[in-house]
Amino acid sequence: MIRVLVVCACLFGAAAGFAQTPVSTPPATAAPPAAAAPAPAPKAWSSLSPQQQQLLQSHQGEWNSLPPDRQQSLAKGSERWLSMTPQQRASAQQRFSQWRAMPPEQRQLLRQRWQQYKSLPPERQQQVRESFNRFRQMPPERRNQLRQQWRQMTPEQRHHAVQQMHAPPAPRHVPR
Residues 20-46: tens digit of each pLDDT: 333 333 334 444 445 566 778 888 999
Q: How many CB atoms lie within 10 A of CB 100?
A: 10
The CA dihedral of 151, 154, 156, 161, to the nearest 10 degrees, is -30
CB-based contact 6:165 (threshold 8 Å): yes
Residues of the chain falling short of pLDDT 50: 1-33
Q: Is the model's pTM score more than 0.75?
A: no
Q: What is the per-residue pLDDT across 106-129, written as a single tens digit (0 to 9) for each?
A: 999 999 999 999 999 999 999 889
Q: Is 107 left (phi over 0), alpha (psi -120 to 50) or beta?
A: alpha
